[in-house]
Structure 1
Amino acid sequence: MDDSVLLRFLNNGLINVGGEDTKLEKLSQAAKDLAGALKKSPSKALSFSLIAFDPEAPEGDPVVVEALAALQARWTTYRNTFSSTPIAVIRAMLLDALMTAAGDDERVGVCFVASARNALPLLHADNERDIWADVVARIEAQVDIRAEAEWSTPASIAVAPMSYDLPKIAAPSVTAATIERTEFQREMRAAAGPQYHDPQNGNVQTGGNQYWPQNQPTHWVNEFGRLSAAAVADAVDAAIAEIEITQPDLAAPFNQLAKSVSTYVDDTLKSVSAATAGLQRRTSLLWWKEALYSPTARTSYRELPVTVAAAHMALDLFNQVPLFSPASVAAFLGEVVLRLPGTENGEDWAIRELVTEAQDEASLAPLRSAAADLVGAPDGRGPLLALIGHPDHAKARGEEAFQILTGVPADARLDPVAWAGWIFRELQASKAASDDSPAKRRARKG
């Protein structure tokens, strides 16, 4: 923004530091200290926001006390300037701190915007409304950039080629065999004729071919072919039988290849799933809208009282969407609620009555459980979920304590659409305030 939040509060006559720039600088330093506290503990964003919204914030609230301590540390004599507890100054400091912290941590932005969308319609200070509207719009636009990225579906999905290091595989080894020459020679002699001449022993009978080629050539050829073929075949068969071929061990390389392929396919499927998550989410929401069935109540929304159904819808939608969701999701919820019978007449209920119903209605036990997990028991300014999630706490049902603990005027009323939106946004804000995952932090600039 061109002007700081503190300066805009000053220019609108909402705070007065006697026209001294040094005092405004002290306020700015205290606001930066509070922003630093938010960065260290984003869970404070919800309580900071709820006090910042309320011109009638109680002086004894823990957030007010913390902000006064920060102011005291930077401006020891601030009490000489203000005749009473400067709630307007505290609220301006908190808003400035929230805006600064939201620039570094989008969880703070989610928490602030969700809370603001509930509280601003009830804000009676018209001279502040433009400042709030501008800050909320700017932070919401920043959060929506992240949300739209998580909900988008790319036109194409790039998948890296598979990388695989080919293993070194040894070549097969062959152990050659040899023919037993003496036996082979004996058999070939037997095939050649009835006898052969040995220098030492003279003529030796072969016991094979009984014919000589010059005497009976036809018979000799027949016997020679038969006996020599058998001798050659036996020699070849014997040599082949003794050949040994050792194959390389392919088990390890194939196992590694199978693992690499499996990992590649798994990573590819994850990439596709992540890229199409937005489309899958939208498809699931459309099914939910058309079915009008509550997974938490395990019945049709049409079978429930309209305000109870609206509360279930808020919880069911919260369970289906991620923390970073575009503003259109709350509008989608409103359209689903409008499909319920009983919403056409525009009837509304006191917010305190709706909270009491949420505390007592048996079917809303899942909402109470979720609220208790996200928000602690009422202690200082907090969301309606603190009362809903801890209905037996001493301060959860007190009529006088209701406005002090929530900042909601006793006469404030909501219709089912607004009630569902309120619960959904409080669930989102509470989740943002309680989620300490580093993955939710934005990378710092500069």
Structure 2
Amino acid sequence: MLQDLLNLGLVDIGSDDSRFAKMESASTKLLKQFEESPPLMITATLVSLDENVDEDTPFLELVEGLVIEEWNTLRNTHVNRPRELLRSITISALAAATDKNPERSAIVWNTAASRLIHDQTSLGKAADLLKQCFERVFSTAESEALRRTGMLEVAQPLRRRKKSTGSTPEAPTLTGSIESNEVLQEVARAAGPQFPQGQALNNANPHWSNQAQQWSYEFTPRMTEALVKAVNLGTSRLAESIAADIAAHIASMEEHLRKQLGQVESLQSKLAESEVAGRMRLDVLWWSQARYSPSQNASYSVLPTSTAAIAAAVDLTAMVPALAPASVTHVLGETMAACTRSERLSLLDHLKKLNESPPHGFEELLPAGVTNTARVPLLEIAAEVVGGSSVSEDDLRSRAGVDPELMLEPAELAMWLFRELQARRIVEDTA
């Protein structure tokens, strides 16, 4: 991503390849910052969406500090804070952070979506590249959200049923056999004084068999010892063979049971997910038909339209998971459109009306100061308004980076706030 941004001519770093390596290193450090402090991803997304963001924005100051750690002479090369260079590093870190990560992708998408939809961005030369990036993060987040809510079946390729490769033990191959040479000396000692070849034997029968009486007295204990040794040796080997087979069988059964338990746990997890997803869909359907605000104990149709918009966004947030499909947002929009007047007001007027008639009980649900930075989501401005603060055109332009005269229907305002609420929820869950 960083190379692609440089290829667009956003930044001129000359022919010194080490400068590019320093930018890459700073991007990696910023990625680490995102992992340690997920709220920074919201700020980073807002900065990425605006090429004209104030160069004194605290977030850019943070990124510059990371670059200077690698590139000590940065300000010798750039007299002013190099906004596009820092923005490029930010975009690169965001792309790396969201790669194949549904939660982080959802943070970025929910922060950016409404601004993209309502043309409240200034992407500059990076427009095409950024749009591709946002399409990717949406796809990553949406696929996982659909999967978790049971609305998307993951296609499994058809395969020929393979013969089981489990570790089922084969039929026992018990053995206790001994070789003749293992007892040969004992039998020879019982039979006579030496081997047929004439070699002397230790503790051998001193008599040959032609001395029957004396020979038999010596033969009996020696032959008994030889037989006992043979039997004991064979029995010992048979016991070892049985133990080895039993151990293999136990190991195979444990592995088989482990796999079976894993399958049962997986099935239980899927059933639980399916139950939760089914309940969520039912709750959302019921809510959309009832058009009643559980937080305000009133129908949305009797609430001031701007108040109804933020109340509906908060109410729906309480019913759905943080990583919810895009269709949930559109259910909100359709519900608001059905129960409020199609009254298009400027964003500034919506917030002023919200200040005049704030929903009750939202102080804890909409805490101010989510991002602790100069560039903030619209949600933070709305939270301040609900808390009693006034709002001005300059607040919306300089802090939220949006046009105060942007005309929105209540449904569109509700969808915007809902997306940002979802982004904040994921941030809180992953912090």
TM-score, length-normalised on structure 2? Answer: 0.67
Does residue 48 (structure 1) correspond to residue 44 (structure 2)? The answer is yes
Change (3 A) 1:268 1:84: closer
Q: What's the CA shift for 1:419?
A: 0.7
**One-letter amino acid of the counterpart of residue 140, structure 1:** F
Structure 1 position 132, deviation (Å): 1.6
Alignment of 1:212-361 (within 5 A): 272-343=271-342, 347-361=343-357
- 2:383 pairs, out of 376, 384, 389, with 389
- The 2-side partners of 1:68 and 1:378 are apart by 18
- Which residue identity does 2:145 align to in structure 1? A
Q: 2:102, 2:78 → 1: CA distance?
A: 34
Q: Indicate conservation of the 8 Å contact 2:305/2:410, yes or no.
A: yes
Which residue is equivalent to 2:130? Answer: 132
- Are 1:432 and 2:394 counterparts? no
Query: Deviation string for 1:141-166 (max 9, x for gaps)?
Result: 112232122100699xxxxxxxxxxx
- How large is the Cα RMSD of the aligned pairs? 3.0
- State the identity %: 24
* Cα 1:16–1:360 shift into 2, 3 Å: farther
Q: Structure 1 residues 401, 289: closer, same or farther in 2, change over 3 A?
A: closer
Partner residue in 2 for 1:81: 77
Higher Cα Rg, which structure: 1
Return the alpha-carbon distance in structure 1 between the equivalents of residues 66 and 36 of structure 2. 15
Distance of 2:306 and 2:387 partners within structure 1: 23
Taking a change above 3 Å as real, the CA distance of residues 268 and 122 of structure 1, as seen in their structure-2 partners, is closer
Find the partner of 1:141 among 126, 139, 142.
139
**Displacement of 1:38 after TM fit?**
0.7
Letter in 1 for 2:134: V
How far apart are residue 34 of structure 1 and its match?
Answer: 0.2
3-state SS of 1:320 partner: coil
Q: Residues 28 and 412 (structure 1 numbering): CA distance in 2 closer, same or farther, change over 3 Å? A: farther
Shift of 1:76: 1.5
Q: Cα deviations across residues 86-128 of structure 1 (Å, max 9, x unaligned)?
A: 2122222111111212237543222111011022221134533
Aligned to 1:9: 5
How far has the Cα of 1:285 moved from its partner?
1.2
Match of residue 418, structure 1, among 412, 424, 429 = 412
Residue 37 of structure 1 corresponds to which residue in structure 2?
33
Alpha-carbon separation, structure 1, partners of 2:319 and 2:424: 16
Write the letter of the residue equivalent to 1:86.
P
| Count of aligned pairs | 319
- Residues of 2 paired with 1:37 and 1:378: CA distance? 15
Residue pair 1:371, 1:389 contacting (<8 A) in 2 also: yes
**Runs of 5+ unmatched residues, structure 1:** 156-266, 438-446
Relative distance call for 1:16 and 1:367 in structure 2 (3 A) is farther
> Relative to 1, partners in 2 of residues 1:104 and 1:142: Cα closer, same or farther, differing over 3 Å?
closer
Q: Structure 1 residues 11 and 366, CA, compared in 2 at 3 Å: closer, same or farther?
A: farther
Q: Could you list the per-position Cα deviations for residues 392-438 of structure 1 after superposition, in whole angstroms to 9, with x for gaps in the alignment?
A: 9898635434322212233333222221111001101111222236x
Contact 1:377/1:387 (<8 A) preserved: no
Deviation above 6 Å: which 4+ runs of structure 1? 267-271, 392-396
User: What code does the residue aligned with 2:397 have?
Assistant: Q
Corresponding position: 1:111 with 2:107: yes
Q: Distance in 2 between matches of 1:135 and 1:61?
A: 23
Please state how far the C-alpha of 1:370 moved relative to its aligned partner. Answer: 0.9
Is the contact between residue 123 and residue 130 of structure 2 (CA under 8 Å) also seen in structure 1? no
Report what 2:360 is aligned to. Answer: 365
Does the CA contact (< 8 Å) of 1:10 and 1:16 recur in 2? yes
Distance 1:395 1:291 in 2: 32
For 1:63 and 1:130, how far apart are their aligned partners in 2? Answer: 24
1:26 is aligned with what amino acid? Answer: K
Distance 1:273 1:14 in 2: 49
With normalisation by structure 1, the TM-score equals 0.64
* Residue pair 1:43, 1:432 contacting (<8 A) in 2 also: no
Structure 2 residues not aligned, in runs of 5+: 154-265
Query: Cα–Cα, structure 1 residues 340 and 148, in superposed 2: closer, same or farther, change >3 Å?
Result: same
Structure 1 residues 425-434 or 101-110, which shifts more?
101-110
> AA paired with 2:136?
R
Paired position in structure 2 for 1:407: 401
Residue 430 of structure 2 aligns to a residue whose secondary structure is: coil
Task: Describe the shift of the 1:379–1:78 C-alpha distance in structure 2 as closer, same or farther (beyond 3 A).
Answer: closer
